[in-house]
Structure 1
Amino acid sequence: MSRRILVINPNSSAACTRGIATALAPLGAPPGLAFAVTQLPEGPPAIASWEDWHSVALPLCRLVEREPAAAYVIACVSDPGLEAVRAATPRPVLGMFRCAVAAAAARAERFAVIGFVAASEARQRRALQSMGLESRLAGWQALDLPMDVLTDPAAPRGRIAAAARSLAATGAGAIVLGCTGMAGHVAAAEDAAGIPVIEPCRAAGAMALLAALPAG
């Protein structure tokens, strides 16, 4: 069995993929196990609409079928294709949104989400409903910025900081960054909010390491 954790960015943004790899880099893996980060070349520039979300399910399944791994992570915070990919492999498949929410729920009774675009809210609320955690959502706010702006090291920080402050004021005890494109802006969000900020790449990476460990 392959001793890698395959982390798949379902969009075609190279900047986003680099950000995912950078976010995962500090996570230590045991000897013989490593993260491998890739992307779908045929994916949309970002998972913004429901059409984008549905369009990547089959390509994700095909990639997983031909690329063996100890575990898989779908590196989009709307968890596209999660159920389909789980049906395509017996290995663990994790979605970044669900992992980040689990981490937030472990830190605080109520949490909030900074979303990518307004259309993401319905998808993320559906996931929260499936987890039985929607009632613990204190607030949700979209940035509505293009992916190339979101992944810029400086351009979106004012918007992210403002959203973080606003969501902290709702009574949330933790904030989830609702897009992998925000991976480089954790410190800015946390400084502005004054509460823990959950970065989904690291949350999912940590859970994937546990899932990939051999039993016993």
Structure 2
Amino acid sequence: MDRRILFINPNASSSCTAGIADAIAPFGPGLEVTSLADGPPAIVTWRDWFRVAEPLCRVIEATPADAYVIACVSDPGLEAARTATDRPVLGMFRCAVAAALARAERFGVIGFTAASLPRHRRILAGMGVEARMAGWVPLNLPMEALTDAVAPQRRIAEAAQRLADEGAEVVILGCAGMAGHVAVAREAAGVPVIEPCRAAAAAAVLAAMEEVVAPVSA
């Protein structure tokens, strides 16, 4: 079945966009990644979060697809983006949390920066699952350091181990920039690790299929 699923990175980091593309490559053809050229270097503050909502809507309106993914793990502009199309629009953090809770009862999150916590809490409260978060540990690294192949590994390992010690039975990588660091987090934590790009890809493929498959006759 031909399909087109568009991942939209709302920041302007080329290394982050490349990492997203690498993470979803195993899902095969039809998954594409783009970014907002005039977006912020990273989604750090609430102003960044609100700033990208309208540009995301414009990309969706101009680019036909079977499903869309807001490729940032604070799901910026998701509610607005859903008004720009009748196709599914998914947020990475929501997909990652759903995937985590399919694996275990308690999850932990490795955050991008401390400023991300209020946005994550808002999403978790909306999903009704905030009480199931065992811990949340920020890295407080710039995006270009986070996407480096080596530089953030020690910090990621320390955060993953701490979350496991705090009772997390599964760990979520809380930024698309961490997509290349699943193995180091898993080894340090000793529990499953959810990478949000892949979690969103799996959910988007299912959503796109549901859009085109005819209902089963009774």
Q: TM-score range, shorter-chain basis?
A: over 0.9
Distance apart, 1:3 and its partner CA: 2.9
Give the length in aligned residue pairs: 211
Distance apart, 1:215 and its partner CA: 2.1
1:75 and 2:71 aligned: yes
Q: Per-residue displacement from partner, 1:162-182 (whole Å, max 9, x unpaired)?
A: 000000001111000000000
> Distance in 2 between the 1:109 and 1:193 partners?
16
User: 5+ unaligned residues in a row in structure 2: which ranges?
Assistant: none
1:128 and 2:133 aligned: no
1:65 and 2:61 aligned: yes
Q: Per-residue displacement from partner, 1:50-99 (whole Å, max 9, x unpaired)?
A: 11000000000011001110000000000000000001110000000000
Identity of aligned residues (%): 66
User: Which residue of structure 2 aligns with residue 150 of structure 1?
Assistant: 146
Q: Per-residue displacement from partner, 1:17-54 (whole Å, max 9, x unpaired)?
A: 0000000011246xxxx101000001000001111000
> Distance in 2 between the 1:78 and 1:15 partners?
18
TM-score, length-scaled by structure 2: 0.95
User: Which residue of structure 1 aligns with residue 113 of structure 2?
Assistant: 117
Report 1:1-216 matches (<5 A).
Answer: 3-28=3-28, 34-213=30-209, 214-216=212-214
TM-score, length-scaled by structure 1: 0.96
> Distance in 2 between the 1:197 and 1:22 partners?
17
Q: Per-residue displacement from partner, 1:148-189 (whole Å, max 9, x unpaired)?
A: 000000000000000000000011110000000000000000
> Distance in 2 between the 1:66 and 1:125 partners?
32
Structure 1 runs (4+) deviating above 6 angstroms are none
CA RMSD of aligned residues (A): 0.9
> Distance in 2 between the 1:100 and 1:70 partners?
20
